[in-house]
Amino acid sequence: MLTHFNKDGKAHMVDVTEKNSTERVAVAVGKIKMSKETFETVAAGTAKKGDVLGVARVAGIMAAKRTGDLIPMCHPLFLTGVNIDFTMDSKENTIICHAKVKTYGQTGVEMEALTALSTSLLTIYDMCKAMDKRMTILDMHLESKSGGKSGDFKY
């Protein structure tokens, strides 16, 4: 059942008034593949624009907090935690990003985790595009979620 449509088939924001508040956690995962030279520059922290991963981490946190402003049917949420982690894969010249978002409330944080993830990866692209316009963002997905009426999910 699509919950963002009313009985007349019109888009609406889901009413969460009667839902119980619970701890909600979501983790989204994705990666960006780049040239060996670009990967080594990011890993060494010598990109001309500065600390690529540090800026991408802050961008992801900021994006998670603004998800309700970006995605029309998302509720504005009070987030209790946002964590952005990067893993460097030198064999594939890939940076893997994990975005974990938490709240205690009446609706989940899946969209906040996915928004944080995509913004983090787009920030890496933006900061490195002068070196490598062929970077590719791959495999973005919800890895897991917990809390709420629908229960736990694991990809």
Residues 6+ apart with CB under 8 A from 135: 32, 33, 34, 35, 38, 124, 125, 128, 129
Give Cα separations from 1 to 21, 75, 144 (angstroms): 22, 19, 21
Q: How confident is the model at residue 6 (pLDDT cuts 50, 70, 90)?
A: confident
Question: What tens digit of pLDDT does each residue of 64-111 get?
Answer: 999 999 999 999 999 999 999 999 999 999 999 999 999 999 999 999
**Phi and psi of 88, rounded to 5°?**
-95, 125
139 is catalytic: no
Is 22-147 a CATH 3.20.130.10 domain?
A: no
Distance CA 96, CA 27 (A): 13
**Active-site residue (options: 8, 69, 89, 126):** 126
* 76 compared with 18, residue with greater pLDDT: 76
Strand partners, 30: 97
